[in-house]
Amino acid sequence: MRRILLLFAACFTLIGSAFAQQTVTGTVTGDDGLGIPGVTVLQKGTTNGTTTDVEGFYSLDVPTDAVLVFSFVGMTTVEEALNGRTTINVALAESRIGLDEVVVTALGIQREKKTLTYASQQVDGEELMKAKGTNFMDAMNGKAAGLEIKKSSSGAGGSTRVVLRGFKSLGGSSEPLYVIDGVPMMNIKRGQPGMWGGSDQGDGLSQLNPDDIESINVLKGLNASILYGSQGANGVVLITTKKGQEGKATVTLNSTTTFESVLIWPELQFNYGAVAGAKESWSDTPGGTNYSEEQMKSFFQTGNNLTNGVTISGGNKRTTAYFSYLNTTSRGIIPNNKYQKNNVTLKQSTKLLNDKLVLSSNVMLSTENVKNRNTAGYYLNPLTGLYNFPRERDWADYSTNYKYFDESRNMYLQNVYVVDHHISNPYWLINMEPTEESNQRMFATATADYHFTNELSLTVRGTYDYVDWGRTRKDAAGSNVTNVSANGRYAFANSTDRKIYTDALLKYDNTFGKVSLLGYVGASYSKKKWAGMGADNSTNDLLYPNIFSTQNYAPNTVIGQWGGTTILQSVYGNATIGYDDMIYLDVSGRNDWSSTLIGTENGPSYFYPSVGMVALLSNMFTLPDFISFMKVRASSAKAAKEVPWNAIRSDHSIAGSQGGINRQTRQPWTDLRPELITSNEIGAELRFLRGRVGFDFTYYYNNSKDQFLNVALPPEEKGLYTNKNINVGEIVNKGYEITLNAIPVQNNVIGWKTAFNFHTNDNEIIELDPENPGRIINMGSSEGYQTFLRKGGSYGDLYGYMFLRDEQGRIMIDETNGRPLKTQNRYDVNDWSVGYMGNLQPDFTLGWNNSIQVNRFSIGALVTGKFGGKVVSQTESMLDGWGVSKRSGEARDRGYVEINGVQGGNPVTQIDPFLYYAEGGGTGGRNGILEPYVYDRTNIRLSQLSITYDFDLSGSSVLKAASISLVGQNLFIFYKKAPFDPELAMSTNNYAQSLDNFNTPATRTYGFNLKVTF
């Protein structure tokens, strides 16, 4: 870091090195001969520039050999070399906005955006990384309509949950396919925390270098991703990486330092202690406490994240190369949480045979090392002991002396005030129960492009994707006996994942009079192979204390092995036929042969088509002058979703230190059909006022049928097997996406670009099991909290214990113990209103992105909002149950909790705080009444903010660009109802996406970035 800062300082001292300068003046006019205000006049290859005044006049000091670039939204861009001139007048012609833009689509194919029959949305790399986060997908939140992103609470290197246009599968994944430069990548998610504890173990996206990203294009529907077949059934996120540029080598140094602090603290009381040494703080007498809010907060630290990177790009007309290196080092807000990542990328491209043959390669390497990922859940989580600590006890004793020497065992043991399955000394956990993870990845691609003619070309690619992952857990003797044996706990897991992908794509592009034809035919081969081994003695004793080795396992310790192989072979084709640049017809088809379907009655082959049409109304009709571009589109597609590995056969698994085998109890599934998804969408794209205003609209209707469901076998069918898989279920997602782009202000003083992204999705479960209409599918539960699927419901429906109420809606009070009564069950199949708390998904989402340029200052600000939906906090329930919440303290100050209740037919307006909140019959605790702890998910926040200053380097012979930025993420929440961050998930799995169970507190990050190019 010090060397890089010194290099920055040295670079800045070179700013005074000047070329020979001259002043160039002129006027920029339009087709009508009038001056155009606000035209950007830029010295090519630098940030030296100006804008024209209200008359279209400009003046700029530049070197004598400079090239000027004149650009204005809605107009053609013009370049002019000085060639000794001091006056350059330029006339800009109106461009056909929306008709010439080229975007990257499926398989890395570049297409004119005007011909696309489906919705896609592209975000460039500079926009993506304005706020400099550690996981680039977090930065996509709010920047693409229809893209729902949920971030885990595990800190740096944690996973994200990404869903496009709603959840589509009953029990499988609804996440999109991720593609790097046209090639699918593995995005492997490891373990996730739950009620019993644990941590998020990251995903493949966190391993990438965000500085390598040129752009991200989101293909939202099946219509857009049909060429990826079953792999792209949930949509596709296309990642295009940077490549070498022709010309003199360009070196860019990029350094970011950010700090992380708690944004939302839990609201606790510190005025009431425990009674008679109890673990809960339910005294009615205030005062006498020895634990303060300052002591609680002092457990946390200010986190930091340092990223230092370099990129080198250059080449000649024949060969170009690109190199990058990035080092990321993070320290979380919980002590001893550390994350380190190193990325190396090397890309090369060479032209041969008179430029007919282009050979290119790309190698991306990464290593990750993580210590003590943040945990969630009740167990082995430092926050349970931190928040619930009895207020009258001396916290200083436990924090400074988290261990003591036990002479009887001749070792250090945990200093904890109570033996309870929830509670551990926080400092013991972070020092004596470490976890470590390592991840090594290689993503390598070789490509050959051969152009037979100007119209016909062939692309052949080969890719090797390799991931080596390992994790260890070492819990010292003396840890919580609920999870750790008396001699300690040693858990390990190692796995390797490999994927080989090859494809060939033949392209034909030609025009026949008014008819244009763009066609592709191709084939691909994909083979995935994985293997792993792991063990965990848990509460079974190690032979000797604190020796963390498999050789110290007891003989009966289970050692598990896993592995598998899948192969997918495919052929596909696409044709786009246009007439007179007015109408385009797009037809695609793909056939897959999947190894996971071998042995079924229907065989391993399945085919699916797509068809779409575009009409460019602005080319067909004479529209009002204020309409620059108008397009309508419609498309329909079908796809068979990839079948999970081992769904057909009933392979046994290896487990046991002495060759034991776990017998498979699932019946072979010989009549399996792939899950079928049908997608239909219509849309319109309009541009107004020479492109200064843009409007995109999409309506989609997606239907998913023949989903996979595991059911128990009836007694008469049982034998060797106890369960089987069946094809049932139908889910519909329908919704709207609206994107509005505008340039409200552009003149010689200020430029402002703004964009709104709106999305709403309606999810409905049409059918689960026709033979069993009352069937429900449990998607996950956590005691009082449960989500499941049922016919007529929606994905994310939440059920739980509610107050038992009379016909007037009053809370019923137990006549025996005076405590509020709850419903007998969390749900009732005969009355779905019982226990129903709402749905976890938002009603609609909104992103508002802004970019403001004022002279050399630029400001980027992103405001995001989620409106409607529900979230649940088991943290708040536990805090109430243990008497440590601020609510419970304020109730004791008053002497009562105000309610609208009834007891024995008599109205009740006040109830004792202990009777209302305390665990074991009140609302609080682990199995209390969930209803008070379900909150509105609505929240509006400032998600990203950046303020950048670009230095004037017009006089430098060395530096091409230099900037300094102030950056921040999640800085302010303008509005929320939940007492925690509703967008921070305990985990990114199916059921816990909106659950708070002693999650690490939400944080804000802020810092600065230095970037120099020479």
N-term to C-term CA, the chain:
19
549: tokens are 């080795």
Radius of gyration of the chain from its Cα atoms, rounded to whole angstroms: 31
Domain boundaries, the chain: 2-91, 102-246+302-532+541-796+840-868+940-1013
Which pLDDT score is estimated for 5?
A: 41
Q: Which amino acid is at 321?
A: A
Contact 378, 997 (CB under 8 A): yes
CA atoms of 142 and 150, how far apart (whole Å)? 11
Mean pLDDT of 801-822: 94
More confident residue, 771 or 904: 904
CA atoms of 1008 and 310, how far apart (whole Å)? 17
Mean pLDDT of 573-599: 92
Give residue-wise pLDDT tens across range 261-310.
999 999 999 999 998 888 999 999 998 888 999 999 999 999 999 999 99
CA atoms of 866 and 847, how far apart (whole Å)? 9
Contact 129, 208 (CB under 8 A): no
CA 302, distance to chain mean position in Å, is 24
Residue with tokens 């996971």: 596
Which pLDDT score is estimated for 96?
A: 55
pLDDT above 70: residue 11: no
Give residue-wise pLDDT tens across range 450-485.
999 999 999 999 999 999 999 999 999 999 988 999
Q: Which of the listed CATH numbers 3.50.50.60, 2.60.40.4130, 1.10.1200.30, 3.40.50.300 matches domain 2-91?
A: 2.60.40.4130
Which pLDDT score is estimated for 31?
A: 78
Contacting residues for 884 by C-beta, under 8 A, at least 6 apart: 268, 269, 280, 281, 387, 388, 389, 391
**What are the Cα distances from residue 591, in Å, to 500, 640, 819?**
19, 10, 63
Contact 281, 883 (CB under 8 A): yes
CA atoms of 370 and 242, how far apart (whole Å)? 28
Mean pLDDT of 193-218: 84
Residue with tokens 């950007």: 40
Contacting residues for 294 by C-beta, under 8 A, at least 6 apart: none
CA atoms of 267 and 265, how far apart (whole Å)? 6
Instruction: Compute the mean pLDDT over every residue in the chain, rounded to the nearest whole number.
Output: 88
Counting every residue written for the chain, the total comes to 1014
Contact 928, 922 (CB under 8 A): yes
Give residue-wise pLDDT tens across range 496-539.
999 999 999 999 999 999 999 999 999 999 999 999 999 999 99
Phi, psi (degrees; rounded to nearest 5) at 313: -135, 140
pLDDT band at 426, cuts 50/70/90? very high
Give residue-wise pLDDT tens across range 338-388.
999 999 999 999 999 999 999 999 999 999 999 999 988 889 999 999 999
More confident residue, 716 or 688: 688
Give residue-wise pLDDT tens across range 952-961.
887 777 888 8
What's the pTM value of the predicted model, to 2 decimals?
0.88
Q: Which of the listed CATH numbers 2.40.170.20, 1.10.150.130, 1.10.10.10, 3.40.50.2000 matches domain 102-246+302-532+541-796+840-868+940-1013?
A: 2.40.170.20
Q: Which string of b and e fits 424-452 if b means at least 16 CB within 10 Å?
A: bbbbbbbebbbbbbebbbebebbbbbebe
Within a 10 A sphere around the Cβ of 399, how many other Cβ atoms? 17
pLDDT band at 331, cuts 50/70/90? very high
Within a 10 A sphere around the Cβ of 63, how many other Cβ atoms? 18
Which pLDDT score is estimated for 19?
A: 40
Angle at the Cα of 547 (from 544 to 548), degrees rounded to 5? 130
Within a 10 A sphere around the Cβ of 662, how many other Cβ atoms? 12
